[in-house]
Chains A and B, each alone.
Chain A
């Protein structure tokens, strides 16, 4: 057991929790939060590996993930707003018309 391994394990657990959250929550905003949780979990792994390898590239990658997440949140929340405006609902199950 070295210094970094617990971080990796925590990262995996958080990722799994975020994953289950995406699958079982129906409020679109909460689903989005769970996606953010998954992104954060992966960031943790990146930073931990950066320390393990003594290389700052991992931190740079985490930085980029944050930037992309920011952009994604902006657009995603705008979409949720638009859907809510027309359907008066933020449930992902209500947006299910595109099917067979």
Chain B
């Protein structure tokens, strides 16, 4: 009975891995809402959270990565953001479906994850933009002046976040059976 309570070194490594992913998500969230909340980067508000979720989901696969995407987007949705439920749906469904495609068809995961990041950011921000436009809060011209720069600037963070996620994913690999 007691031996089941013992945590093996491999399990410790897995706990560390998921803690680091969570810290990365929290850091992205704080960077986005606190540091860049009232500031712009190259004239746009960057959106780092979707990039972290997509990278982790694509690296970890549709099951474990999907669960991470679900939990993170739920926390993101409940943190008081505008149209949070749109983010919850888009940031879970799109990365999970793309993770399934990655595992099945794709060999170069880096460029595919860059494309998925772009698509996820575009889908999330696009749906929110059109909802606000539909309710008369925005003018359609802001699609070009605000939405596209926001998506492009946010995608610039992918080359920084992807290697970190790739590195964290390797934690615990030495304990895997050869």
A and B bind: no
Binding site for B on A (CB under 8 A): none
Binding site for A on B (CB under 8 A): none
